[in-house]
Amino acid sequence: MLPDMRIVIAPDSFKGSLAADRVATAIAAGIARGLPEAELLLRPLADGGEGTVAAALRAGYRPQTARVSGPDGRPVQATIAVDAGTAVVELATAAGLGLAEPAPMTATTRGVGELVAAALDQGVHRIILGIGGSATTDGGAGMLQALGVRLLDAEGDDVPPGGGGLALLDRVDASGLDARLAGIELVVASDVDNPLTGPSGAAHVFGPQKGASPGDVEALDAALTRYAAVLGRDLGVAVADVPGAGGAGGTAAGALAIGARLTSGAALVCDLVGLSEVLAGADLAITGEGALDAQTLHGKAPAEVARRARAAGVPCLALAGVLRLSGEELAAGGFAAGHALTEVEPDVRRCLSAPEPVLADLAARVVPALAR
């Protein structure tokens, strides 16, 4: 490799400490110290959850703001990204953790449906819904209600918000569903393959992260089981066992009920930012995330970068906060090598509290060595 080589920098975020664009910038700053002539192409990514709209905006989409309901019903300001007939909507901006106090039984995705409606107002023909980071376990029920679907109890009243309310669900009336949805493609970008219900489902796996007690988990799983049964009976859509239906507290299942399709979030975001195009003719790809581990190899953004780099004949280097893969596992995943921040700074607390200078130092140490 030559000092003036072309390097594509396409990391995910270091969750909890550094957004993807700042990860990419820190890596670039480190490389520039030893390879000032290198052409650096920054393409920060997301895996379909938080950061998906930001990735689309960096790729040239234009922002549109909307005031929607947060997970506790109070209004929040959210942004969607729009370009050439496509809108990118991010669940976390309307129903994400951190937007309200934990309320596992009552948190709602109504604001997500309101965001989808705002995207429809833009006249698009495709809506990409990035899910992940949700505060909800309502199966996307609030989203459906915001889009005109009625979820009714035995008395004919609307069920209360949240996953807990689904225990009262008696029937579903989709006659009022927003008619504009019939003319668009709704794509749900996710990085999980969990079903809606059962031991690997939304309540059992993700509920505790959202404040659910063991009793809440059992109640939510039973409510989601009822929800799936009623959706199947009244809409003719089977959602309970679909891989990925449990994503974002079952929001994926609600989207499936109105005709959405599920896809890999990482692959979709890579397409949004034109990753394959910039890899053509590159000398090196660099990716990474906070923890490079076994989960990385199952649909996460760094694995998708490595896959595309391998297809383009480009070596792929992984930089991470923590590295839990062996050399053999890295190679099997398509990575030429992997390095962790602790190689530069053994103090994990500093790596977490001030990762940017450590990441820049790591990039400055390992990347120029590849050019020799």
Tens digit of each residue's pLDDT (9 = 90 or more) over 239-279: 988 999 999 999 999 999 999 999 988 999 999 899 999 99
Average pLDDT over every residue of 8-25: 91
pLDDT of residue 17: 82
pLDDT at 372: 63
Amino acid 3: pLDDT: 59
pLDDT tier at 300 (50, 70, 90 boundaries)?
A: confident
Q: Once rounded to an integer, what is the mean pLDDT over residues 223-242? A: 96
Taking alpha carbons only, the member of 339, 151, 117 closest to residue 254 is 151
Mean predicted confidence (pLDDT) in 201-218: 96
pLDDT at residue number 366: 94
Residue ranges, CATH 3.40.50.10350, the chain: 6-45+274-371
**pLDDT reading at 1 higher than 60:** no
Residues 6+ apart with CB under 8 A from 227: 139, 141, 166, 169, 250, 253
CB distance 87 to 81 below 8 Å:
yes
Task: Provide the token pair at 234.
Answer: 């009244």
Does 75 score more than 60 pLDDT? yes
For the entire predicted model, the pTM comes to 0.87
Specify the pLDDT at position 126: 97
- Averaged pLDDT of the chain: 94
72 pLDDT more than 60: yes
252 three-class SS? helix
Q: Is the pLDDT of residue 15 over 90?
A: no
The domain over range 6-45+274-371 is classified in CATH as 3.40.50.1820: no
**Phi and psi, residue 133, nearest 5°:** 70, 25
Listed range (74-83, 162-171, 216-225, 338-347) with the worst mean pLDDT: 338-347
- Nearest to 119, CA basis, from 59, 53, 33, 60: 53
Q: β-pairing, 337-340 with 62-69?
A: unpaired
CB 247 within 8 A of CB 207: no
For 102-161, the pLDDT digits (tens) are 999 999 999 999 999 999 999 999 999 999 889 999 999 999 999 999 999 999 999 999
Cβ atoms of 176 and 150 within 8 Å: the answer is yes
End-to-end CA distance of the chain: 7
CATH code for the part of the protein at 52-266: 3.90.1510.10
User: Residues near 148 by Cβ (< 8 Å), separated by ≥ 6?
Assistant: 174, 176, 177, 178
Does position 301 have pLDDT exceeding 70, yes or no?
A: yes
Q: Check residue 88 and give its pLDDT.
A: 96
What is the arithmetic mean of pLDDT over 42-56?
89
Whole-number Å distance between alpha carbons of 27 and 347: 19
Residue 297: which pLDDT band, with cuts at 50, 70 and 90? confident
Alpha-carbon distance of 47 to 266, in angstroms, equals 4
pLDDT at residue 58 tops 90:
no
**153 contact partners, CB below 8 Å, separation of at least 6:** 159, 168, 169, 170
Q: What is the Cα–Cα distance from 287 to 305, expressed in whole angstroms?
A: 7
The answer to whether the beta carbons of residues 340 and 323 sit under 8 Å apart is yes
Q: State residue 193's pLDDT score.
A: 87
For the segment 22-27, the average pLDDT, to the nearest whole number, is 96
Q: Which two tokens stand for residue 21?
A: 């664009």
Determine the Cα–Cα distance for residues 29 and 248; give it in Å rounded to an integer.
35
β strands within 10-57, DSSP E = 39-42
pLDDT at 211 over 70: yes
**Percent of the chain beyond pLDDT 70?**
99
What span, in angstroms and rounded, lies between the C-alpha atoms of 191 and 263? Answer: 8
pLDDT digits (tens, 9 = 90+) for 345-362: 888 888 888 899 999 999
Residues of the chain with CATH 3.90.1510.10: 52-266
Phi-psi region of 250 (alpha: psi -120 to 50; beta: other; left: phi over 0): left
Q: What are the pLDDT digits (tens) for 84-98?
A: 899 999 999 999 998
pLDDT for position 299: 77
Q: Are strands 171-173 and 150-152 parallel, antiparallel or unpaired?
A: antiparallel
Joined tokens for residue 316 = 């792929």
User: What pLDDT, on the 0 to 100 scale, is given for residue 192?
Assistant: 84
Q: Is 138 exposed, middle or buried (0-12, 13-18, 19+ CB in 10 A)?
A: buried
DSSP 161-229: SSGGGGGG--EEE-TTS-GGGGGSEEEEEES----SSSTTSHHHHHGGGGT--HHHHHHHHHHHHHHHH
